[in-house]
Chains A and B, each alone.
Chain A
Amino acid sequence: MNLKRLLGLFVLPLLLLSLHAQAQDKIVSGKVTDAKSGAPLDGVSVIVKGGTTGTQTAADGTFTLKVSAGVTKLIISSVSHSTREVSIGSGGVQVALEPTDPTLSEVIVVGYGVQRKRDVTGAIAKVKGDQISATPVPSFEAALQGKAPGVQIIQGNGLAGSGSVVRIRGIGSISASGDPLYVVDGIPVISDPFIRSNGGAMNQNPLSSINPNDIESIEILKDAGATGIYGSRGANGVIIITTKRGKSGKPSFTYSNKLGMATYAKKPDFVNGPEWLQLRQEAWVNSGHTGQATLPGTLTWAQASQNNTDWWDLLTGTGFINDHTLSMTQGTKKLKTFANLTYSDDKGYIKSNAYTRLAARLNMDYNITDKLKVSLTSAYNRGVNKRVPAAWDGGIGDAMSSALPIFPVYNADGSYYSGLTNPVIKTNENKRREIDSRILGGLGLEYQPIKNLFLRANGAIEYTNSFADEFQTATWNKLYSNKTTGTASRNPYWGSNITANFTANYLWNPGKDHKFNFLAGTEMQDYQRKGYTASIVKDMNQPFWQDPSAYRQLRDSLKSAPVPGISEVSQEEFTFGSVFGRINYTYKDRYSLQMIARVDGSSKFGANYKHGFFPAISGAWTISDEEFMKGIKEINFLKLRASYGVVGNANIPSGVYYDNYRVGSNNYNGNPTLYLNAPGNPDLKWETMRNVDIALEFALLGNRLTGEVAYYHKATTDILLQPGVQPSTGYPTIWRNLSNSKILNEGLEFSANYKIIDNKQVRWSIGGNIAKNRNEVLEYELGPDAVSGGTNDTRIVKGLPIGVNYLVRYYGVDAADGLPIWLDKNGKQTKTFSLDNRVYAGSVMPDYIGGFNTAVSYKNFDFSALFSFVIGGNIYENSAKYQFLGVSKKFWNFRKDFLDRWTRPGDDAKYPKLVADAADYPGVPSEDQFNSTMFLRSASYMRLREMTIAYRFTKSTLGKLPLKDLRLFVTGTNLLTFSKFPGGDPEITRDFENAQDRNLSPNITYLTAPTQKTVVFGLTVSF
């Protein structure tokens, strides 16, 4: 989309606005404010009593309405405030509305509709858009951390644009992804950061292209009572993202920006060059060798002693955050518009790493007649990710592993030293860039043929285009191959995600006490992605992103002159087709019952199980509305709700139920080849999850204390499993539903908010949430080594949580000889290591997660802080075992906390003596198998996740400036971290492309780049 067309999109609504002016009888104007704070209220409905004429207040609380001369009274109502009836006097109408409890009168998006929070019967947590966009995070989902009970967000690394692992109420899957379903404005979107397999860390995250500034609210659907409407895709929870739409009032513009700096939250510390050499010699002597220790490659001691390279320092710097958004909202009775333009650039602390987003949105709602409405939802997002290698892929990962301080960066002549690990070469001479574009167009029609019947048809197309570019400079090629030019390569994919649904919604109120709401609908989705069988590669001295014509030429020439091994190919296609219904019944406004049923068919399911049926029932009882509660003043609101339902997890790779053959991309001896990828399974189907949820919602002490307590019980069966087949079948990766399998997640959630002070001048509130999840594999017929997570780090064992650490226990050091003492299976001490002594030693899943916050406002200042925390669970440091053995022949960086090692008889040390070879510890097969509780850590931590100080200028200070509002703020993220974890940042996700590894080993560390710490300054101005 070019700039002209974008401008056009912005100008169009303004033109439409000016066309809307009519004659009138009498003009009533006025202003609506909040009775408590005196703040202007926007979006308040102002309607003529007994009539249909009406309007809504603008952002400054004012309204103007033309009414016929005889009108004397207006009804002023708002979802957040009590309704008032006012007389039209001679002057303007000034109305102050009493706020009702805001948390209960809120409108909640429930999937194919909205409900008042007080009527909701399912477990839904809502996070408002401003709580998302205010936080500088790599991708919007990271901003949810600590804000919703039972929702675990592990941001996990500091790469710009990178994704988070999101778990709602635990994890009940082994091989199938445990990621929730993301629904943006009704469209289920793809969220897998590994569409391109593993390109080095989790930084190819499709969600990062979603503009946080577009988000009106995020609803997190947790139980079957809520997710039941998403049937086979509801088991992992559903995250509904709703974008902003136009609000009533004159055109109002808001510009906001954020400028700031980024660094790492917490890093591991390593010894320097001379120290490393000294430790190397110590290990050499400890292992019984004499003379000077051998060094990596052909490096001599003389050469090594000259170097003291700080690789971390060479690869990192201060990042820069630069974010600008301009939005416009406007609304008349006929037309409402929201438009938004965002440019943001997040240059992380890792050199060369940046995520740049350009986003535009136009959402319009137009009432063609009173009965026919049309709405447009459209957006364009372009994310440019300047990717850098990380973790196992080198770069900053090398700085924590095999790039030793004794290695030089350059030769004497200034050229790169390439004989040993040198991450500076990769950073400078091997450039990567991922360019993702998303265009979204959605059109909705709502028609009301008769009173209380609403027919809605929505169709949307999301078109995605992605380039993964890589450029190896001539310098790189000369070092590592015999080429003399550079090499540009591009791996494109493009795809469409088409969804269409049709719903009929009928409201039926037979008598005063009974209210029914019927919903019936059908939906279809077709997702397709195409690409090439291999990257398009050309030897040239510029990357394709600088010379796109060279790429286009090459791509087009493939049609006329095909290159073997490269052809256009459909990479994935899947479909869902569904029929669903929902009945809500409310009796006397205090008993609610909801029934949901959905039938899902999908191309992901095997031929024998094409359709699944998913029912859910839920109810709520507003106890506080009962007569017997009327006298209790302290209780303002009390609601008990419960749900039971069956939902599914359909995260099965597409097409795997078929016998899957592939035409080889290579020939053999000039002749075509053909391969079997994997045999199919016609019995493949969704995982089934049965879910009970019971909760109590409350508002006490004059609505000052609000909150919720919830209990849930989720049992998943028909567990999808890929491994665990005898390897001699040749294809041990067939997908199947494991018989006799059951995984339980059971938990308690508590959230509360208390307004300590609440008056016009000072407001101070504290709030927080905490959730406990208990996970247990109840039924499982395979042995502990049949299925592993990560690189053999974790296990599935019946009777234990999934993803348990199955390790040899380390007892301590023998003070006499410095050798490690282990515990055998029976807990007896032994000095011989054996993998046979592995036992259940820890769990990667935390006991408690949560967050707490406080918000203070005094006059025009406000301050808020959010802490998030994790209690319990373990981190297994898979890279620490190599870092501890760094001065053995593994040759890695040596972490400073390992200096607490045995050096002479009698030493009481934490770690054993250093050795030149892991096998010098009796029984250790190699450093790879040196897994023990020596490197198992507590995962508990607490961090100051967000802190903001802001000042809002009053109308009087703004004086004659044509501004409606001006706010200045400074926000920091991850400012403080409290943790005993010795390996740097305790918030970790490892970049596992395999969903099973992410389920079982979410926080097994391997050279993870620590999360960003940021401080930004910004302003928001409305005019």
Chain B
Amino acid sequence: MSVTRIQPKRRFSFFEWKEIFEYRDLLYFLSLRDIKLRYKQTSLGVVWVILQPLVPAIIFAVLFGNFARLPSDGQPYLLVVFTGLVPWSLFNNIVGRAGVSLVGNANLMSKIYFPRIIIPLAAISSVVVDCMVGMVVLAVLMAIFGTVIGWHLLFAPLFILSAFMMGLGVTLVVSSLNVYSRDFGYAVPFVLQAWNYLTPVVYSSELIPKRWIFLYSLNPTVGLVEGFRWSILGTQSLNSTMLVSMIVGVGVSLASGMMVFQRIERGFADIV
């Protein structure tokens, strides 16, 4: 017979992976709830998921590609923008949507016990679905433009996974700190906006002057976007600095995310 021990937690303890695994059905149904609720009572439903990245991508392609004639590594500008939007929105929406998830589910946390990490994970699931739809749209666009794919396509999942893990790490920090101080909830959209401009989402990092490129490459999300773009379009802008800072970024954000979350998770119900 299982025995539940209730006592003050030690200062440093690890995630109880086994318990999280036992609650996997809850993760499934909470994710289902979040996904269903997003498009319930909309008549267009999944069309919104397609329109959301496509419309801004077309606007940016026309503005920057046709009018401003920004460099595009010799690729159609719409594809340059779209290959930027797929990994960036994955990262951006994970942080944006899951960052407020704990506060938004305060009623659950104060009434029932379950591993708290399920809440941000469930919030992320709808973002992952959006990302998959985005990739299908990307595939269609590639077919329309007749993009030649090469061996580097094999690396595409690696960059998507990196975007996911970096987003997860950042959102664990943000969502748990947001429980203590709602300042984080306000700061996140603002910081993400600025971060968006420092990442080659709607432009190619070809645009960055040579003397600034090293400093620019230290931003870990630059590697995410240029890496994904390289794996799809075979563009030349990716450099080793971008890759290294991306890998370091993934490691640091995941580690700090888990540390911060498990460290203060026990106090959520008393504070939220």
- Report whether chain A binds chain B: no
* Interface, chain B (partner A; CB < 8 A): none
